[in-house]
A and B are shown apart, each in its own frame.
Chain A
């Protein structure tokens, strides 16, 4: 991976900057639970004072994370650990159950009017599935022009058309494709259209939710390069979600590792890959060296991923952790700083608490 070390060399040293020095987005104790709607019988039970047992799924549990302006923050973890849910809350698509998201210093739950629009458009999402992320009944030109017709009434028809063409060119699509429907494109091209749609409102920050996971391996590299090129040209900030650690290593300045709705480790990319601290991160990294294993994600991590409906007591990783200690099944470890820019949530590092 020589190119990733090259990229690492010319990165701004954001990782050493104090947290929230120039945070574009900050999450504090952010949680999201999913419950199903109570059926009629359950509502009646509740009225009768007998609280029914409706299962609660904690998809994201008290996440504290800040994204610095201009960085690429990688987010990795097994499928189902809450990466998409966290990403959706960051864009405002999904409201948080608890905690706050702050955009440029202001709690987004309190934003109204123009400020809310700034946040909504400023943080855009690129979705995982290029097949369901485009309206099948809209032509490409309509998909790309709609955000402008809605938000920029000052632009003339011709100006909007010009911007649509520019957006197509920017993502590497020919302008002659404007009158086609999404189904007439390949997965990679659709993903480019999705990127163009997000970019046309000139966002600051892109949440990329596994944007290449559904693509052909031959096309993945092109789309990754497009992301890198766009970042350079537009000074974008990314949250780059992936369950493929080699992609994260290639793209990200910092990496957050997520397990069962929690961030368990956060570190600058080079340090994380050179010296993973959390036992879960270590197990993950053992999976990458073989090229064959790359597409298999983390299915080879020993043991089953516990259900977020019924998470283990204490450290959520303890049933699978090779280094588990007696206290691990009782006490939940807290995220603690173990070095500048490095945090980890594991009892193995408890002794470091005195140092920070």
Chain B
């Protein structure tokens, strides 16, 4: 490469010859994805879990939400038994005669849906609140951050329980409850990373160039302070699912007609002592696998994206 500009000294030209990919962060991430198969695998795993979770119900042999598709006659059948019309209950049936495998596949979809949607919503709210607090400062910041402290001051399960006790059951209501208790985590982290970003001189330059506050906020501060909350979000999906399962287990979560994994475990609880272990056991195993794999993925991603580890 010929020296592009003779006015520059040799030092500067050498510096320009660096490979011209993308931002350092993106380059480091892509590099890690290539070098460390665990990261790529965990990303693929996340995608596969999501896809399986969302698509599997189509392969279920029974629609557990359709009360006419199963019969109470088949109740509490052990795994591998056969119904009188010839269908095999691989994982047995529950107290209403539902095929457990089908119920688990549907329940997993609900759990995943609740986890993903509530995390996404909490992320959007938290990021906006943290960003507004950091950029506007003053009273607005004080007010928003006291609110965040207030929300984080209570155990999340307690807040969600009280909330659901007031507004009733339902998938949308569980999502609302989880968003209500989780957005504050994102807001706090977003505010602190936006605050440290806001102190940088390019933000002062943006104000000096007469850009509107909104432009400074969304075009300059936000893109540079998102990475920390995104990392948190990958880990939070699993904890949102755990919270949903807990709420459903306690009977305030999803409605009985649309059982999630947590509700399935709760339903089988009564039969545990009478020997019908499978009604609780298999949904529990499914929940465990789901949360474990999501945590694994989140953890790997967090390590991979940690700027302090290159």
Contacts and interface: CB of A to CB of B under 8 A. Distances in A.
A71 B18 CA distance: 40
Nearest to B212: A150
A91 to B, nearest CB: 6
Nearest to A120: B210
A133 B200 CA distance: 7
Contacts of B224: 135-137
A37 B142 contact: yes
Interface string B6-45: 0111011001101010111000000000000000000000
Contacts of B275: none
Interface in A184-202: 184-186, 188-189, 194, 197-198, 201
Contacts of B8: 172, 189
Chain A: interface residue count, which band? 35 or more
Given A133-B201, A135-B202, A219-B12, A172 B223 contact: no
A80 B212 CA distance: 30
3 smallest CB-CB distances across A and B, nearest first, come from A186-B15, A133-B201, A127-B201
Given A150-B210, A173-B5, A197 B205 contact: yes
25 contacts: A88-B204, A120-B210, A125-B204, A125-B208, A127-B201, A127-B204, A132-B201, A132-B202, A135-B202, A136-B24, A136-B202, A137-B23, A147-B210, A150-B210, A172-B5, A172-B7, A174-B4, A176-B4, A185-B16, A186-B11, A188-B11, A189-B12, A189-B16, A194-B205, A219-B9
Contacts of A76: none
Chain B: interface residue count, which band? 20 to 34
Nearest to B22: A181
B210 A125 contact: no
A124 B11 CA distance: 28
Contacts of B142: 37
Given A150-B210, A185-B15, 17 more contacts: A117-B210, A120-B209, A127-B204, A133-B201, A133-B202, A133-B205, A134-B202, A181-B23, A184-B18, A185-B12, A186-B11, A189-B15, A189-B16, A197-B205, A219-B9, A219-B11, A219-B12
B208 to A, nearest CB: 5
A144 B268 CA distance: 64
B17 to A, nearest CB: 9
Interface of A: 37, 88, 91-93, 117, 120-121, 124-125, 127-129, 132-137, 146-147, 150-151, 172-174, 176-177, 180-181, 183-186, 188-189, 194, 197-198, 201, 216, 218-219, 222
A183 B24 contact: yes
A181 B220 CA distance: 14
Contacts of A181: 22-23
Nearest to A121: B210
Per DSSP, chain B at the interface is helix
Contacts of A189: 8, 12, 15-16
Interface in B210-259: 210-212, 215, 219-220, 223-224
A135 B201 contact: no
B227 to A, nearest CB: 11
A145 B140 CA distance: 32
Given A91-B208, A132-B200, A180 B20 contact: yes
A205 to B, nearest CB: 12
Interface in B32-66: none
Contacts of A137: 23, 223-224
A197 B209 contact: yes
Contacts of B7: 172
Interface in B111-142: 142
Contact of B205 (A127, A136, A219): A127
A136 B23 contact: yes
Of the candidates A117, A137, A147, A197, the one having the most CB atoms from chain B within 10 angstroms of its own CB is A137
Given A120-B210, A181-B22, A219-B12, A174 B204 contact: no
Contacts of B22: 181
Nearest to A184: B18
Contacts of A146: 209, 211, 219
A125 B24 CA distance: 26
A218 B9 contact: yes
A135 B215 contact: no
B210 to A, nearest CB: 4
Contacts of B210: 117, 120-121, 147, 150-151, 201
B201 to A, nearest CB: 4
Contacts of A135: 202, 206, 220, 224
Contact of B209 (A134, A173, A186, A201): A201
Interface in B166-218: 200-202, 204-212, 215
Contacts of B24: 136, 183
Nearest to A173: B5
Nearest to A180: B20
A121 B208 CA distance: 7
Given A37-B142, A151-B210, A219-B9, A184 B223 contact: no
B260 to A, nearest CB: 39
Given A136-B23, A172-B7, A177-B16, A93 B202 contact: no
A136 B207 CA distance: 17
B203 to A, nearest CB: 8
A88 B22 CA distance: 32
Interface string B268-290: 00000000000000000000000
A117 B273 CA distance: 77
A260 to B, nearest CB: 23
Contacts of B205: 125, 127, 133, 194, 197-198
B201 A184 contact: no
Contacts of A150: 209-212, 215
Contacts of A216: 11
A188 B215 CA distance: 28
